[in-house]
Amino acid sequence: MQIDFANLQYQYELYKDEIDTAMQAVLDKANYIMGDEVRELEDNLQNFTGAKHAITCSSGTDALLLAMMALDIEPGDEIITTSFTFIATAETIAFLKAKPVFVDIDEKTYNIDASKIEEKITPKTKAIIPVSLYGQPADMDTIQSIANKHNLKVIVDGAQSFGSTYKDKTDSNLGDISCTSFFPAKPLGCFGDGGAVFTNSDELAAKIKMLRTHGQNKRYHHKYIGMGGRMDTLQCAVVNVKLRHYKKDLALRQEVAAKYTKALQGKDMILPEVEKNRTSAWAQYSVRVKNRDTVQANFKEKGIPAAVHYPMPLHLQECFQYLGYIKGDFPISELISDEIMSLPMNPYVTDEEISYMSEQF
Ligand SMILES: *Cc1c(COP(=O)(O)O)cnc(C)c1O
C-alpha cells in the first residue's frame, strides 16, 4: 500500500470540472490581478466565517505581516507568542524588528499556555499571537481577557485552522485580526501561495487593503509604507470552488480524525484531544510516540508518509539565538518536539488505510 499524505491530486480530480472552468474564466478575461474573483472570494469568506471583513493576500506569512503593520507594530515592540509553531508566526514579528517573546505550550492542546502569558507582559508588549495549532483554536477567552486587561491586541494565526470554531465562532472571527493561509496543504488550499486577513473593524480593514497594495489610497498615491501582497485572481478562483465544498470536506476531516482516534485507542502513544467548546479543522492528526525514529523508519518501509510538525521549537532555532533562550526554557515545547508525529490527513483517508496504519503501532 502507498498512502498519500495530503491527497491534493485526488481532490483536484474530484472538483476538476468546476476548477478548470473557474480558472479558464480568469484566463479568458486576463484579469490576473484583483479580478472579479478576488472580491467574490472575499464575500464568500465573509459569509463562511462570519467576520465582517475578509481581505485576501499573497500568503499566510504576508497575512501576519499585514496584520502587524495595520496595528502599527514598531521596532522594539514585544509580541507574545508560542514557542511551538511554524516559523512564520515569529519570523514576521522579527522581520518588523519587533521582539518575539515566547511562552510554553499546554501539554494537551499544544497551543500557547494562556496561564503563562501574563508574567511575560512588559510596558513594551503590544500584542499576543495565539496559533490554532493543527487546527484547534487556543484558549481564546483567557487570552482575550488578558489582552483587554493590559490593553493589548490579539492576532490569531489561523493558518492551520480555517473553519475551526471556538464557542461557535469561527477562528477567523476571533481577536482583533485573524489570519489564514491557503498554502496547498492547509485544510483550504489553493494551487500556490495565498492567504487572508479577517477583522470586524472597518478602520483596520481599510488600512489592510491599502497596505496590501503598496499602501496606496489612490492609484500612485501612497498613504502608508505597504507591500505587494495581493492574492492572484487565479488562486482566488480555485479557492472559490473549493470553498463551496469546504463544509463537507471539513466534516470528512473530522470523521477521519475520529476514526484514527478509535483505531489507535489503547496503543502506546498519546492521541490528540480537542477541548470542549472547540472544533478543529484537523490540519494535522498528530500523535506522540516515544520512539519516533523507529516508527518513522518502519512507516517509510511500509509506504506510509509521516511528517514532524515540528522537530525544533522556535526558541532553539538558530535564527533566534540572539534572543538568548536556552534549552530547558520551555520544557513542554521541547518534549513535544521530540515525540510528535503527524499521520496522513486529508478528507479522503480510507478505512483500509487507517487500519493498515494502526497495525504498525
Ligand atoms: C503555514 C503557516 C503559516 C504561513 O502560511 P504561508 O501561506 O505558508 O505563508 C503561518 N503560520 C502557521 C502556523 C502555519 O502553519
Q: What is the pLDDT of residues 195-208, one digit of tens each?
A: 999 999 999 999 99
Going by pLDDT thresholds of 50, 70 and 90, the confidence category of residue 1 is confident
Query: Using CA atoms, how far apart are residues 337 and 145, in angstroms rounded to an integer?
Result: 29
Report phi then psi at 34, rounded to 5.
55, 40
d(CA 339, ligand 1 centre) in Å: 22
Asked whether residue 203 falls in the same domain as residue 341, the answer is no
For residue 97 the three cell numbers come to: 524588528
Query: Using CA atoms, how far apart are residues 281 and 80, in angstroms rounded to an integer?
Result: 24
Whether residue 3 lies inside any domain: the answer is: no
Which of ligand 1's atoms lies nearest the C-alpha of 131?
A: 13
Asked whether residue 137 falls in the same domain as residue 236, the answer is yes
Whether residue 2 lies inside any domain: the answer is: no
Query: Where residue 148 sits, what CATH number does that domain have?
Result: 3.40.640.10
What is the residue-wise DSSP string for 262-315?
Answer: HHHTTSSSB-----TTEE---S-EEEE-S-HHHHHHHHHHTT---B-S-SS-GG
Residue nearest to atom 10 of ligand 1 (CA): 88
Query: Using CA atoms, how far apart are residues 263 and 155, in angstroms rounded to an integer?
Result: 36
pLDDT digits (tens, 9 = 90+) for 64-112: 999 999 999 999 999 999 999 999 999 999 999 999 999 999 999 999 9
Closest CA to 155 of 182, 127, 132, 133: 127
Are the beta carbons of 313 and 334 closer than 8 angstroms?
Answer: yes
Asked whether residue 160 falls in the same domain as residue 41, the answer is yes
What residues line ligand 1, using a CB cutoff of 6 Å? 59-61, 85-86, 88-89, 131, 157, 159-160, 181, 183, 193, 195
Range of the domain at 165: 8-103+110-244
For ligand 1, mutation pick of 181, 191, 232, 239 (most atoms within 8 Å of CB): 181
Whether residue 216 has pLDDT greater than 90: yes
d(CA 309, ligand 1 centre) in Å: 12
Asked whether residue 141 falls in the same domain as residue 59, the answer is yes
- The residue with greater pLDDT, 1 or 212, is 212
Query: Using CA atoms, how far apart are residues 310 and 124, in angstroms rounded to an integer?
Result: 29
Residue nearest to atom 14 of ligand 1 (CA): 159
Residue nearest to atom 1 of ligand 1 (CA): 159
Whether residue 277 lies inside any domain: the answer is: yes
pLDDT digits (tens, 9 = 90+) for 292-344: 999 999 999 999 998 999 999 999 999 999 999 999 999 999 999 999 999 99
d(CA 251, ligand 1 centre) in Å: 22
Q: In the 3-class helix/strand/coil scheme, how is 106-175 assigned residue by residue?
A: CCCCCCECHHHCHHHCCCCEEEEECECHHHCCCCHHHHHHHHHHHCCEEEEECCCCCCCEECCEEHHHCC
Residue 322: burial class (beta carbons within 10 Å; 0-12, 13-18, 19+): exposed
CB atoms within 10 A of CB 107: 14
Residue 126 Cα distances to 103, 122, 343, angstroms: 15, 9, 36
pTM of the model: 0.98
